[in-house]
Amino acid sequence: MNLDKYTYNYFLFLFSIIPLTIVAGSAVSFVNILLIDLSFIILLVYKKNFYFLKNKTIIYFFVLYIYLIFNSFISIDYSESILRNLGFIRMIILFVAFNYFYHQNFFISKMFKSWTVIISIVIFDVLVEYFLGRNLLGYKYGELYGGRVVSFFKDEPIVGSFLNGFFLILAGFLINQKKKYRNYVFLLIFIMLITIFITGERSSSLRALLGISIFFLLYKEIDLKSKSLFFFVILVIILAITSNSSSLKERFTRQVIDQKSQYFNLYQSGFQVYKNNKFFGVGNKNYRVETCRQNQTSTNKNKDRYICTTHPHQIYFELLSEHGLIGTIIILLIFYKLIFSKIKRVVMEKNYLKIGLLIYLLLSFLPVIPSGAFFGTFVLTLFTINLSLFYASDKNMNVFKTK
């Protein structure tokens, strides 16, 4: 598996800029992943290394991929779903690539250092925008989204979700390093958590707070008193920030109450789409087709409950509405085998990178809490990165493990 210097540096560069390309936009991220995938396929052909195809994990992925292709053909609008479903193969190849390069000499360590620098710049930018009203590129605080920090993303309030996607990766990686740096790591984790909170993204803030709470409960190197003090300080600072920020107070208090019915109406809409398409749903990315186009002309009273939007904003209602009962069972069973069946073994270990990755993956399946479109590029990319590292970092689960 040894690589020559130029191949090593080429792939190291592409992997190291993954967070940067996500910030730059979905098109740039797509191109970077495509470069990794195509280059990696060429490398595999050159190395004649295909034994990983017999691995059970890869078989599960291909079962999921075959199902998604089938889902395209039963979708109410084939053109909406086919590109998303066909494109899922790029995530499978990215998963395999992470597994291949993880144990290359210092590859992942260098990659994580680059990621830490990029994430630190984004954190700094969020703080600048929050306190000064403009970010480093001059984007105005709350200009489009009512007081929410958008940082480099400008057109979308998703910087909190972005940071959350790398939060537990870096927390686990850094804590696995030398113990003498532990206090600095805790400080960085603390700053990351507060940064996610001040973006005003409620779901991301809740997931980050739950994630780090579970992470520290499973962290065996400090006593309960220290853990309690850590959480107490976090809660005090969060309450202090909220009470002194009218926009955050609005987001985390009154708007939670006001928008609760809005989200439950969305969930009801998703469930209604499922009830009208029980077995296989309307097809991936077709929720918007069913609720927006057909609702305009339908006289069916059941469709009066439809809310025209891109997706139901909750993973289970998204799966049920777009994949039906059978598709949802297939998808959840595969992710049970890939993730949930590994919980006991990972928790018993002291590899905090794997523990952090596992927590992020599990929190992706939280019920009730609003979420982005699971098979959308942004959410799926962050999920795939965490899932890839979860497998790659374990010598027994890595798909290139030696026999």
Predicted pLDDT at 179 = 67
Quick: pLDDT tens for 203-213.
Answer: 999 999 999 99
Quick: pLDDT tens for 274-333.
Answer: 999 999 999 999 999 999 875 555 555 556 678 888 889 999 999 999 999 999 999 999
Buried b (16+ CB within 10 A) or exposed e, 267-293: bbbbbbbbebbeebbbbbbbbbbbbee
Q: Among 118-127, 295-304, 357-366, whose mean pLDDT is lowest?
A: 295-304
Mean pLDDT of 133-149: 75
- For the chain, the structural domain boundaries read 5-392
Residue 248 is encoded by which pair of tokens? 């955050």
| DSSP state, residue 140 | B
Contact 353, 389 (CB under 8 A): yes
CA distance 50 to 59: 13
pTM of the model: 0.93
φ, ψ dihedrals at 140, nearest 5°: -80, 140
Nearest to 317 by CA among 274, 363, 265: 274
Quick: pLDDT tens for 235-271.
Answer: 898 889 888 887 787 777 766 666 666 788 889 999 9
162 contact partners, CB below 8 Å, separation of at least 6:
19, 22, 23, 122, 153, 382
Q: Among 140-144, 188-192, 397-401, whose mean pLDDT is lowest?
A: 140-144
Mean pLDDT of 136-164: 82
φ, ψ dihedrals at 134, nearest 5°: -140, 145
170 contact partners, CB below 8 Å, separation of at least 6:
112, 115, 116, 119, 188, 192
- Report the chain's mean pLDDT, rounded to a whole number: 89
| DSSP state, residue 341 | G
Share of the chain above pLDDT 90, in %: 64
CA distance 156 to 143: 11
Predicted pLDDT at 243 = 85
pLDDT(143) > 70: no
Buried b (16+ CB within 10 A) or exposed e, 57-91: bbeebeebbebbeebbebbebeebbbebbebbebb
Mean pLDDT of 164-179: 88
Contact 123, 164 (CB under 8 A): no
Residue 134, helix vs strand vs coil: strand
